[in-house]
Structure 1
Amino acid sequence: MSNDLFLGIDLGAGSLKATLIDAAGAVIADAAAPVTTSAPQSGWSEQDPNNWWVAVCTALPRLLEKAGVPASRIAALSVSAGAHTQVLEDENGVVIRPAILWNDQRASTQTQALRDAADARILEISGNRANPTWTLPQMLWLKENEPDNFARVKRLYLAKDWIRSRFTGDWMTDPIDAAGTLMSVADGSSWSAEICDMIGWNLETLPPISPSTARAGTVSAQAARETGLAEGTPVIVGASDTAVETYGAGLTEPGLGVIKLATAATVSVLSPDLHASNTVINYPHVMPDQFYVIAATNSCASAHKWLRDTFFMSPETDGSAAFDRMETLASSVPVGSEGLFFHPYLNGERSPHWDPLLRAEFAGIGFQHGAGHFVRALYEGVAFSLRDCREALAAQELEFSTARLIGGGTQSPLWCQIVADVLGVDVELPGNGDASFGAALLAGVGVGAFADEAAAAKAAIRVAKRIAPNPDNAAFYTEAHSIYVDIQKALSPIHHRIARLQGNRGVSPMKED
């Protein structure tokens, strides 16, 4: 029996997932293991990298057992994880501190300092503007707040690279994750000494850069014993989660959008050109000679889970049953939630506001509103935030009329329809579109199972369902969105005053441009 299967591993905010596929894109099996995120202070978000490897060693044996196939059939594996999330090791290979995640907001003061000193130059070199989500301001925070740890750094890994290194012993990254540090040139092909000098960062601590489809090494004997994989299995460099999940959803050429309803929500499009601006994010893509341009909202499925855990759960309640009840209640509520609005800024906001001090609220509450109204208002509020993202892309002349919808939020039929209606676009749900699937497909490209990235996508990606926007609902939501925007503008200064009242000194508001 030949080695004809491909393994993808993705590290998420709440779990690590592994997916095994064949060359036709069929999922043979998948398995997951939990990971824990901690928030030692308001606005902080951290994980212990050592727990990631525990999750790997838990998920992979489960996967192989479910698949019922020998590990020798796996032709290659690839890993993905969130961008910006760094692992710092000392000269003895010991992890120095917990990894600061992409949604951490602690570095807003350092972000403002970088903007004041070199805003235009950083944008010119890197293609992106300094924001708290990037590694560069996070490492400036480290220098100012944990100088001993800053001085100890011998090697910086990105999250997926650290996990991969536990399989192979390698130290490298790909252009996409390199760009995600804000410490490289825009296409991720090389590190920028000029940017690194801005925070006194030692270039020698940054890994070599190789293509996402390059071979990083093979599974070591020790990793084989710990995970159940076959020693010598090829390991491909991989890429960030959004890169592989948009690729796995079929984002292989300009003109299509990919919308992700996950912990955060993103809107992504492809472009052959860099769109450096203050409102959107640019990365090189796994598709050669293409950038993918993103606008993003911080809280999506995380807001949905927050609402469930806060108001719909009890010690006797099953989480899945609570979500089902929420869906049923929301489905009985009319379009517009009878004037109830929600802004999903539970952890600040990214595009287009880039303000870590914005906070969520329900506005317009009346006696007519019941539990279902709050659920539907949350669905609509996230969709309105995604419309903000789409308009930020449209300002860069990046338009689309069809979007592939991916992420855990797609399990809600109502939410999918609301997204189609609010954005006024046709929505397609791919048969498989998560990051672990895209990583597995990339592994196949890396070992030559497909002619190239486009051929792999054509062979393996399918559309399972299509949803058209309701014209009447779309017209209503256009008017409602203008009210949503006005509420945000009116309450933004109030959120800043609340933050000052709370004495939250670890997170400072950005200056308005």
Structure 2
Amino acid sequence: MPEALLLGIDLGAGSLKATAIDASGRVHATASAPVETLTPHPGFSEQAPEGWWHALVASVGALLREGVRPDSIAAISVTAGAHTHVLEDAEGRVLRPAIMWNDQRSGAQVAALREAAGPRILELSGNRVSATWTLPQLVWVRENEPALFARIRRIRPAKDWLRRRLDGSDATDLTDAWGLMLADAGSGGWSAELCALAGLDPAALPPIVASHTTTGRVTATAAAETGLAAGTPVVCGTSDTNAETFCGGMTRPGMGALKLATAATVSTLTAQPAFSEDVIHYPHLVPGHCYAILGTNSCASAHRWLRDSLFASLGFDGMDEAARGVPAGSDGLVFHPYLNGERSPYWDPDLRAAYVGLGFAHGPGHFVRALYEGVAYSLRDCLDVLEARGMGFATARLVGGGTRSLLWQQIIADVTGLVIELPRQADASFGAALLAGIGVGAFADTEAAAAVVSVEAIREPNRANRRGHEEGVAIYRAAKDALTPVNHRIVAATRGAT
């Protein structure tokens, strides 16, 4: 018999990745396929769910061609970004492209909800309403697409829609339920009051189960499309950041995690969440714990934008090499990564990106290093909020695709002052594979699964760069404040033109 493997599938903003591991945590194979994001209007961010399924079929097919045998897969689990949701009609047909977590169209709806029921939403959901969440996005759909809204009979978080294509199940986990901003954080069930704010019948929402619950088995139809073995157990899954922070080693209070992916986040584990206007909370895979998280909307997405716009001939490696010759502080060039508005600590969908301080002395490498530093400054903004709440930490695990740049790793350490530890494996597909193992008993519990996590490198802050970066943070914030009314004017003019 072939060695038993665990298959983790993660739907990211730009691609879907599949990873097969064994119970020791050794990776046997990985494969990925691109996913297209649609931006029909400024601030919009949407994806076609059927494209997710095509990417899953392509990724799984590539794994099987690499030698992973279908009958060797003991279990499968799926993760995806929180807040992204699929709307279905009574026949299960997708009604519209899925509105993404980084979509900023619902600013007016956020303002109205905050005015009418902001404190009550925070009390019930545990989080401040902003354009990231599904609740205001649903209000936008109700107000702008009323005929379509009237046909909604089911709402599924992205990973649950994908998993249903595998096993036919109807369920979600508590983390993604919170991500919809329609769940009662106190009771653990759906909130009729929050659903009423959206104009939604709670019956449109799936049952909530534990993330490690086996929800079903690969159907004959899914097996025929993917090449997987019919009957393979499928485990519910969770959000991508929940899986990443867990497999990165954030498994005890006082440990932090920094994520460099499409967005960038700062997280820490807490046994006693203190709900507030400025810190987001979700249930964590570690039983009895939540993770507190803050984030900036654009990280790897900003890096990719810069490559595609100015450095297509160099590629990421060439950009990194160009930035190595630039001193800390980028000779006064500052970058705001607000390409699609901003979350913490500003909660402003109408901020926009900018390079500030540009002069004749600046060359290509300055643009790259300033972008690295700008994202690091945005993470510092988030970290300062946690520290002000008594939730700071001295050591953090670094996860996400941005971790491939050694220079960016060091800049993150220098700007934050944190000791940065790099796990050997720390992407959401690996975390999903661990969750699959918990679900079918390959790991006795989350503690046993976490035991396979190891650190392969450490980045200590370079104190010589600290003073320059402190000044950089101050300039970054002052420029943001000065440019905010200009950004708002630009966005208003752009909206008026469309």
TM bin, normalised by shorter chain, reads over 0.9
The aligned residue for residue 326 of structure 1 is 319
Return the match for 1:381 from 349, 354, 374.
374
Structure 2: tracts of 5 or more residues without a match: none
Match of 1:462 in 2: 454
Q: Which residue of 1 aligns with 2:113?
A: 114
Among 484, 492, 498, the alignment partner of 1:500 is 492
C-alpha distance in structure 1 between counterparts of 2:101 and 2:279, whole Å = 15
Q: Runs of 4+ in structure 1 displaced over 4 angstroms? A: none
Aligned match of 1:398: 391
Q: Are the equivalent residues in 2 in contact too, given 1:283–1:292 (CA < 8 A)?
A: yes
Distance, in Å, in 2 between the alignment partners of 1:474 and 1:405 is 19
Letter aligned with residue 100 of structure 1: I
Aligned residue number for residue 510 of structure 1: none
SS in 2 for 1:182: coil
Contact 2:124/2:186 (8 A) holds in 1: no
Kindly state the Cα deviation for residue 394 of structure 1 after the two structures are TM-superposed.
1.2
2:466 matched residue in structure 1: 474
Q: Are positions 1:490 and 2:489 aligned together?
A: no
Rounded to whole Å, the distance in 2 between the matches of 1:302 and 1:296 is: 14
For residue 220 of structure 1, report the CA deviation from its aligned partner. 0.7
Give the C-alpha shift of residue 2 in structure 1: 5.6
- Structure 1 residues 246, 148: closer, same or farther in 2, change over 3 A? same
User: Take 1:275 and 1:488, find their aligned partners in 2: how far apart are those partners?
Assistant: 28
Tell me if 1:349 matches 2:353. no
The 3-state SS of whatever aligns with 1:432 is: coil
Matched-pair contact (CA < 8 Å) for 2:3–2:22: no
Inter-partner Cα distance in structure 2 for 1:281 and 1:311: 35
1:156 maps to 2:149: no
Amino acid at match of 1:335: A
Task: Kindly provide the CA deviation profile for residues 71-91 of structure 1, in whole angstroms up to 9, marking residues without a partner as x.
Answer: 111110000001011111111
**Alpha-carbon distance between aligned partners in 2 of 1:180 and 1:222, rounded to the nearest angstrom:** 30
CA distance in 1 between counterparts of 2:104 and 2:382 reads 20
C-alpha contact (below 8 Å) 2:29/2:68 kept by paired residues: no
Deviations 1:420-472 (A, max 9, x none): 000001111111000000000000001111121011111x1111111100011
Normalising by structure 1, report the TM-score. Answer: 0.95
Q: Percent identity?
A: 56
Hey, what's the Cα distance between the residues in 1 that align with 2:119 and 2:397?
A: 34
CA distance in 2, matches of 1:480, 1:115: 33
Native 8 Å contact 1:351 1:389 kept in 2: yes
Alignment of 1:36 with 2:75, yes or no, is no
Unpaired stretches in structure 1, ≥5 consecutive residues: 507-513
Q: What's the Cα RMSD here?
A: 1.2
Give the deviation of 1:504 after TM superposition.
4.5
Inter-partner Cα distance in structure 2 for 1:502 and 1:163: 35
Amino acid at match of 1:340: L
Q: Distance in 2 between matches of 1:147 and 1:3?
A: 52
1:322 aligned partner, one-letter code: G
Alignment of 1:54-69 (within 5 A): 54-66=54-66, 68-69=67-68
Q: Once the 2 structures are TM-superposed, how far is the Cα of residue 3 of structure 1 from its aligned partner?
A: 5.7
SS of 2:275's equivalent?
coil
Matches within 5 A, 1:6-85: 6-66=6-66, 68-85=67-84
TM-score of the superposed pair, with normalisation by structure 2:
0.98
Give SS of 2:172's match. Answer: coil
Equivalent residue, structure 1, for 2:360:
367
Alpha-carbon deviations, 1:93-145, whole Å to 9, x = none? 11111100000011111111110110000101110011111110000011101
Count matched residues. 498
Distance 1:34 1:247 in 2: 25
Distance (whole Å) between structure 1 residues aligned to residue 288 and residue 244 of structure 2: 18
Contact 2:434 2:449 in 1 (8 A): yes
In structure 1, the residue corresponding to 2:425 is in which secondary structure? coil
Rounded to whole Å, the distance in 1 between the matches of 2:493 and 2:211 is 46
